[in-house]
Amino acid sequence: MPNSTSRHRTLLALALPMILANISQPILGLVDTAVLGHLGAPEYLAGTAVGAFLLSQLYWLCGFLRQSMTGLSAQAKGAKVNTGQLDDLARAMFFALGLGTVLIISHPLLITLILSVTELPALAGQSLDTYLSIRVFNAPIALFNLITIGYLVGQQHTRYVMWLQVGVNVLNIALNFVFVYGLSLGVAGVAYATVIAEWTMFLLSLFLIVRATTVGARLSQNWWQWVRFARILKLNRDLFLRALMLQACLAFLTFQGARYGVTEAAVNAILMQFFILTALALDGIAYAIEAMIGEQEGARRQAKVHNGLWRDIRVSLIWSNVFGFGLMIIVALGYAQFVDLLTNQERVREAAAPYYHVMVALPWVAHWCYCLDGIYIGLTRGDIMRNSMVVSALVGFFGIFWLTQTAQNMALWYALLGLQVMRGLTLGGHLFMSFRRHN
């Protein structure tokens, strides 16, 4: 059995590539914005930005496909079985195909709804229609990518994932310039570049899965039977409901903040970048935790022994604290400089200054729930994560906002901290009780 020192090394070897892969993601969005912002009319950028935001939110809600696949893949690795090792991968892709088909069929209704709500001018509306109509037909491939990435992470091939994501992002950026400036395809060129990048990621992911899969691994004969889908459907349902509650909190922060005025909305846009970057970094650690805990859970179910599982949970908590503290120090030292980098408006800079203590506290407060999420994804206990998020959203977020609402916009960020604290307390409390029962 591996000792604790080797498990510390394993976690770092898994986490660091995922952190690098995650923080490379925002660069693509910045390039897309820059390319569209130089097309000659702001309507191109406005319409495409709305379409890209809609798709990113829909795919973010579908992130449960990646999470569930990571847990199931890691458990299959830990169980060390060949027959049926690819069953959950096939079932998840079958499910994603159906979900992607629903998005394709419903996209005309989505476009009509968005245009009626946003009241975009004609050129912006046309850009939105063009962009979405191209991207949405690739929805099944985009969802397949969530699953294949989840499978590779679960098999602890995070270096593959890092090079895959970075390489495909570079390809996407290069194709943006070729299609938009070289072929003069405009908004359609940005959409086609993303479609080609998504296909490239899917095909390369399949190649890497075949290369990394244990010799002799295969589908079982009854993988397709409906009853066999029950576990993955239940897990995906619970994780989807969890994501929906989290999205409701973030949407409330965005729209309620806009009601407090233009300056507050601008400040929130800057602060959200801190939150996103923190989340991306902590997610990279969580990916490693998911893979390690899932592996131990698979082994435990085979051998009925908890020793390796609780050892890896302790290792996960230690390194989550280290990274959380490190991120807190980075924010504490670089907050003012980062704000200055994002805006030259003195009024916005001054309005952002009082939020310093909230942003410094955020990484330390949030790392607990990201770590615990990783543990419970590895255990494939989506029900615990769902229940935690429901309580945390209602009590930790909306409850804190109600109690502090006289602070107006600041109350929204107190509520976000409250959400993270409550998630940590509910998941941590459940983990502590489980430890007491088994020791």
The closest alpha carbon to 170, from 192, 191, 193, belongs to 193
Task: Let me know whether 250 and 172 are in one domain.
Answer: no
CA 374 and chain centroid, separation = 12
Query: Residue 306: its pLDDT value, please?
Result: 59
Q: Is the pLDDT of residue 215 over 60?
A: no
Count Cβ atoms below 10 Å from residue 111 Cβ, excluding itself: 19
Give the distance from CA 89 to its chain's centroid.
Answer: 19
pLDDT at 399: 96
Q: Which of 224, 254, 287 is the endpoint of a domain? A: 224
Give dist(CA 58, CA 321) in Å, integer. 31
Chain segment 134-149, per-residue pLDDT in tens: 888 999 999 999 999 9
Q: Is 304 in the same domain as 434?
A: yes
Contacts of 233 (CB under 8 A, 6+ apart): 95
What is the rounded distance in angstroms from the CA atom of residue 70 to the CA atom of residue 295? 10
Residue-level pLDDT at 332 = 93
In a domain, 412, yes or no: yes
State the pLDDT at residue 318.
93
Q: Are 302 and 80 in contact (CB under 8 A)?
A: yes
Among 39-48, 161-170, 410-419, the minimum mean pLDDT is found in 39-48
- Predicted pLDDT at 42: 60
Domain co-membership, 136 together with 215: yes
Most confident of 39-43, 110-114, 122-126, 381-385: 381-385
The predicted pLDDT at position 392 comes to 97
Examine the fold and report which residue of 174, 190, 224 is the final residue of a domain before the chain moves on.
Answer: 224
> Do residues 296 and 382 share a domain?
yes
Lookup: tokens for 336: 């003012």
Measured in residues, the chain has a length of 439
Can you give the three-state secondary structure of the chain, one letter per residue? CCCHHHHHHHHHHHHHHHHHHHHCHHHHHHHHHHHHCCCCCHHHHHHHHHHHHHHHHHHHHCCHHHHHHHHHHHHHHHHCCCECCCHHHHHHHHHHHHHHHHHHHHHHHHHHHHHHHHCCCHHHHHHHHHHHHHHHHHHHHHHHHHHHHHHHHHCCCHHHHHHHHHHHHHHHHHHHHHHHHHCCCHHHHHHHHHHHHHHHHHHHHHHHHHHHCCCCCECCCCCCCHHHHHHHHHHHHHHHHHHHHHHHHHHHHHHHHHHCCHHHHHHHHHHHHHHHHHHHHHHHHHHHHHHHHHHHHHHHHHHCCCHHHHHHHHHHHHHHHHHHHHHHHHHHHHHHHHHHHHCCCHHHHHHHHHHHHHHHHHHHHHHHHHHHHHHHHHCCCHHHHHHHHHHHHHHHHHHHHHHHHHHCHHHHHHHHHHHHHHHHHHHHHHHHHHHHHHC
Residue with tokens 């107190």: 414
Average pLDDT along the chain? 86
Q: Is 422 inside any structural domain? A: yes
CA distances from 409 to 47, 158, 173, 278 (A): 28, 39, 36, 20
Nearest residue to 386 via CA among 244, 233, 283, 231: 244
Answer yes or no: is 18 within a domain.
Answer: no
Same domain flag for 206 and 298: no
202 and 324 in a single domain? The answer is: no
pLDDT at 114: 75
Q: Which residues contact 38 (CB under 8 A, 6 or more apart)?
A: none
218 and 246 share one domain: no
Task: Tell me what pLDDT residue 24 has.
Answer: 79
Q: What confidence score (pLDDT) does residue 83 get?
A: 59
285: domain range?
A: 242-439
Specify whether 269 is located in the same domain as 180. Answer: no
Shared domain check, 405 and 260 = yes
**63 and 125 fall within a common domain:** yes
The per-residue pLDDT for range 396-435, each reduced to its tens digit, is 999 999 999 999 999 999 999 999 999 999 999 999 988 7
- Average pLDDT rounded to a whole number, residues 185-211: 90
CA–CA dist 150, 52 (Å, integer): 23
Provide φ and ψ at 219, rounded to 5°.
-75, 145
230 in a structural domain:
no
Reference 180, options 50, 39, 28, 30; nearest CA is 39
- Flag whether pLDDT at 355 surpasses 80: yes
Query: Which tokens belong to 305?
Result: 């022994």
Residue 231, Cβ density class (10 Å: 0-12 exposed, 13-18 middle, ≥19 buried): middle
pLDDT exceeds 90 at position 164 = yes
- 163 & 256 share domain: no
In a domain? residue 428: yes
Does pTM top 0.85 for this prediction? yes
Residue 83 pairs in a beta bridge with 218
Asked if the model's pLDDT at residue 120 lies above 70, the reply is no
Q: Are residues 342 and 209 in the same domain?
A: no
Q: What is the total count of domains within the chain? A: 2
382 vs 261 pLDDT, higher one: 382
Confidence of residue 113 (pLDDT cuts 50, 70, 90): confident
The mean-pLDDT minimum among 73-77, 129-133, 196-200, 240-244 falls in 129-133
Domain limit, last residue, from 224, 253, 283: 224
Specify the pLDDT at position 52.
Answer: 76
| b/e 13-26 (16+ beta carbons within 10 angstroms → b) | ebbbbbbbbbebee
Q: Calculate mean pLDDT across residues 144-172.
A: 93
Tell me the mean pLDDT in the region 175-194: 87
66-80, 135-149, 184-198, 218-232: segment of lowest average pLDDT: 218-232
User: Does residue 438 register a pLDDT over 80?
Assistant: no
The answer, yes or no, to whether residue 264 has pLDDT greater than 90, is no
The burial class, CB within 10 Å (0-12 / 13-18 / 19+), for 353 is exposed
Q: Is 259 exposed, middle or buried (0-12, 13-18, 19+ CB in 10 A)?
A: exposed
Q: What is the pLDDT of residues 317-337, one digit of tens each?
A: 999 999 999 999 999 999 888
Asked, for residue 324, whether it belongs to a domain, the answer is yes
**Residue 71 within a domain:** yes
Q: Which two tokens stand for residue 278?
A: 């923190």
Q: Domain for residue 30, yes or no?
A: no
